[in-house]
Structure 1
């Protein structure tokens, strides 16, 4: 299923362009929309969806809409509350997939006070909250029972926590969404998920690209300009972006590339029209340096979930 992401941590589809971007993506053939409460543009994304439905481009059931539970809403009583609010912003009755955005519980922030609440309190400090994952997951399962979400899953989780959730889950995680690109190949994590039939979705498929403008690319050379990527792209007459996306999809990993540009949206959609050779897949995977660009530990040492 063709997909579009509405924001990544460092770079988002802006409110002013979001409705048009969503509408144009649907018109181009995209059917999966990946959003989140933290992205701050769910209302605008919903406007794009409503326009597309009103114009007869799609029906609601043709779309697969994903959103995510932010860290400040992990307590049982807050999960359903915020999910209903997010559905209202989208203007829909259910999410096709709802993910726990990070395995991090932060102090509750009332949406009427600040939304999205982001990582910090009013004083700029990070405040954690002692809500265990089994409480949050139990509340997520209630969303399925009440038909507010068709599927539930995890994001930014490592193997030990996934195994923990599987021990008590009534509804097992259907999807794990993680940072994954040739600089961070995560082979063991992908293998674990396949073992338990958990689908893997990759974000930041272009590696440092979306982190450059904020100066948090950690000095890594661009994958879009890397000699290996460029050589493979030349072999197939494709763009470097298409090669990076195909490297993931050919491994059985879904991708959610972000773009505001209609031309790139169309090009990204064409990433499965060719196959990489085993040697090309291996050459791209050999670029792995375990470079994690989206790490909450960079915000606060107490949030080192990938330690």
Structure 2
């Protein structure tokens, strides 16, 4: 992605805002409390899935509805995205559809459950919608993936505003983009060394105005978290290394899933990014050198 090194700083320009999405995986019975805590801290984007194995989508909805009822947010303030997960990614004893259902029935049942779970009013589903619905992963064949995408397109733009895909390779993403009536708006992938930080895929996303969302940004990058560019930003801006890494990732044009279970970290992460921005603005030469060094780590062949 050769243009990254020459691009203006998105962090300084303010294009990083709002670049966090609160991730609700693995929260179990704490999900409702944590979603409300995230909204109270200032998160306005929420990621979930119709996959009870890893997500408690109904508790995400309860947290959102309570926050709306208490006047903390309105539905228009929020970006809510969920996912359709294939049987291979589900708990066989707890899924939103029957595993032997035809694909079309699986998807319609899954989407219906998400619209119900994530409704903004307790007693009505009439106005329920999702800002984005992702295929949690490509299906076993490209033909099945195309079929699933076509089924999801029938919901756009009324019940689903945009579509996306997670855990996807560049060839599959290109194929979907070329064939789709409603093009992918979001890609959500692991941002870590095993995929070489998705450099060609992210270039494709940038070219086609697709938002690239990263997960495992911290847990998948222990070496990156201790790298010299991250340390320089952490020390210079007086923020935790995690915040420094987030800021440098934002500057690549990436939206970060943040799934912290700590209220203190929620506040610190949201407050820390403006601190880095202020430091970067006051020390633009040092910031330029630091972001260049970071690019050499995550985009070594650009």
Name the residue aligned to 1:5. 23
Alignment of 1:290-301 (within 5 A): none
- What is the aligned residue count? 250
* Deviation for aligned residue 1:134: 1.1
Name the residue aligned to 1:87. 115
Structure 2: distance between partners of 1:19 and 1:79: 25
Name the residue aligned to 2:11. none
- State whether structure 2 residue 136 is matched by structure 1 residue 101: yes
Q: Is the 8 A contact 1:181 1:244 kept in 2?
A: no
Runs of 5+ in structure 1 lacking a partner? 106-128, 210-220, 291-307
Structure 1, residues 219-276: CA drift from partner, whole Å, max 9, x if none? xx45444455333311221111111111111111111111110110011113431245
SS at 1:143 equivalent: coil
Name the residue aligned to 1:249. 250
Q: Given the two structures, how large is their TM-score scaled by the length of structure 1?
A: 0.74
Structure 1: distance between partners of 2:273 and 2:161: 27
Alignment of 1:141-152 (within 5 A): 141-144=153-156, 147-152=158-163
Q: Is the 8 A contact 1:180 1:204 kept in 2?
A: yes
Change (3 A) 1:176 1:137: same
Name the residue aligned to 1:61. 76
Change (3 A) 1:208 1:167: closer
Match of 1:160 among 171, 189, 192: 171
Higher relative contact order (CA 8 A, sep 6+): 2
Name the residue aligned to 1:295. none
Alignment of 1:15-54 (within 5 A): 15=29, 17-38=30-51, 39-54=54-69
Give the aligned CA root-mean-square deviation in angstroms. 2.4
Structure 2: distance between partners of 1:182 and 1:174: 24
Structure 2: distance between partners of 1:181 and 1:207: 9
Structure 2: distance between partners of 1:58 and 1:234: 35
Name the residue aligned to 1:14. 28
Q: Given the two structures, how large is their TM-score scaled by the length of structure 2?
A: 0.75
* Deviation for aligned residue 1:97: 0.7
Q: Is the 8 A contact 1:152 1:174 kept in 2?
A: yes
